């Protein structure tokens, strides 16, 4: 049926709403999607074009059911903390020193954090994703029930963005989850946090490195990153079983240093009321506990996985140390 819609599209798109024939070719869920996003200002012809041209990609569903974050930490970290990525990161930092310094001045986010994010996300543009964004978001929004509500909204946001930016729907490529550009922004984040950091009138996170740097920094600033404040530190635990109920659940940090101390956590002299406790498998059957601070939580607003946040943090410190060497 979708092929039929494509053939009929030029005639069907003349009106301000979907023709009866075109609407009848859509599923009930797709028709509701059209109604919802037309009400939010997305042109009906754009909505019809997107749904007519989109196709389910089973490989996308396969990919999202096997995320890298499902690996144990001691395997996951090896994907990102490599000498090759470190060399690429220092080269990127040197090439974009001015933009990174400007972003720090404007947003208060240290260069090593921005460089680490772009390095972990796309290896400095080498791996920005090859999936058609519409296909990715359509597949997950209409054929992946566990997260269909989220991805259906992201498809709507993408169409808002495409309308705003004047994009052709087959132009933008991204990850299997619809993340785009050097910093892998999902559409809602692109709309909310992308900035025109070079003043050329466009927010281009695909090919404009300065815009990408400014946008990552803006994202962190808007999620309450605090420059110079602690992120995480290894701590010892007297009784892992006693401390287990206090392990961080991904929500806002809420434990005090006193509560953690009472549970047998050596908080290393830290006095605060917004802390978390994290346990990562640093080797097979070997666990290390970490105290996590609000800045660690800020990193998880970019990707909710604590493994991701730890990889970004440790990589950022490797970058900072490498750049400090003469």
Other CB atoms closer than 10 Å to residue 297's CB: what's the count? 23
Angstrom distance (rounded) from CA 259 to CA 265: 9
State residue 20 phi and psi, 5-degree precision. -60, -40
Angstrom distance (rounded) from CA 232 to CA 53: 46
**Residues counted in the chain:** 326
Token pair recorded at residue 260: 């953690």
Task: Please identify which of the residues 110, 112, 121, 154 carries the catalytic annotation.
Answer: 121
Token pair recorded at residue 139: 């597949």
**What residue has token string 């990102």?**
80
What is the sign of the dihedral through the CA atoms of 107, 109, 115 and 119? negative
Decide: 217 and 160 in contact? Cβ < 8 Å.
no
State residue 270 phi and psi, 5-degree precision. -75, 135
Angstrom distance (rounded) from CA 219 to CA 53: 32
Token pair recorded at residue 299: 């990193």
**Share of the chain residues as helix, strand and coil, in percent rounded to the nearest 5:** 55, 10, 35
Residue 266, SS3? coil
State residue 16 phi and psi, 5-degree precision. -90, -5
Angstrom distance (rounded) from CA 244 to CA 267: 15
State residue 43 phi and psi, 5-degree precision. -60, 135
**How does DSSP classify residue 265?**
B
Residue 302, SS3? coil
Q: Does the annotation mark 110 as catalytic?
A: no
State residue 259 phi and psi, 5-degree precision. -65, -40
Q: Which residues form the catalytic set?
A: 121
């Amino acid at each position: 049926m979708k092929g039929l819609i494509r053939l009929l599209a030029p005639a069907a798109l003349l009106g301000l709403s979907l023709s009866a024939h075109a609407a009848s070719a859509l599923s009930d869920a797709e028709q509701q999607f059209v109604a919802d996003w037309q009400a939010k200002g997305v042109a009906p012809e754009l909505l019809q074009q997107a749904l007519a041209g989109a196709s389910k990609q089973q490989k996308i569903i396969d990919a999202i059911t096997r995320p890298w974050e499902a690996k144990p930490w001691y395997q996951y970290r090896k994907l990102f903390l490599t000498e090759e990525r470190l060399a690429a990161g220092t080269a990127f930092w040197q090439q974009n020193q001015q933009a990174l310094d400007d972003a720090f001045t404007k947003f208060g986010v240290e260069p090593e954090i921005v460089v680490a994010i772009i390095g972990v996300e796309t290896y400095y543009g080498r791996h920005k994703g090859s999936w058609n964004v519409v296909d990715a978001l359509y597949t997950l929004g209409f054929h992946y029930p566990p997260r269909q509500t989220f991805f259906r909204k992201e498809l709507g946001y993408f169409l808002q963005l495409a309308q705003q930016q004047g994009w052709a729907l087959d132009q933008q490529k991204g990850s299997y989850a619809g993340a785009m550009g050097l910093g892998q922004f999902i559409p809602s984040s692109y709309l909310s946090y992308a900035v025109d950091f070079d003043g050329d009138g466009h927010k281009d996170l695909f090919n404009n490195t300065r815009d990408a740097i400014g946008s990552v920094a803006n994202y962190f600033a808007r999620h309450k990153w605090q420059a110079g404040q602690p992120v995480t530190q290894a701590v010892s635990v007297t009784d892992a079983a006693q401390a287990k109920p206090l392990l961080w659940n991904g929500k806002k940090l809420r434990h005090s240093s006193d509560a953690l101390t009472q549970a047998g956590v050596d908080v290393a002299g830290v006095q605060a009321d917004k802390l978390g406790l994290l346990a990562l498998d640093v080797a097979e059957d070997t666990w290390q506990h970490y105290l996590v601070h609000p800045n660690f939580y800020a990193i998880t607003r970019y990707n909710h996985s604590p493994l991701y946040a730890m990889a970004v943090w440790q990589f950022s410190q490797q970058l900072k140390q490498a750049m400090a060497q003469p």
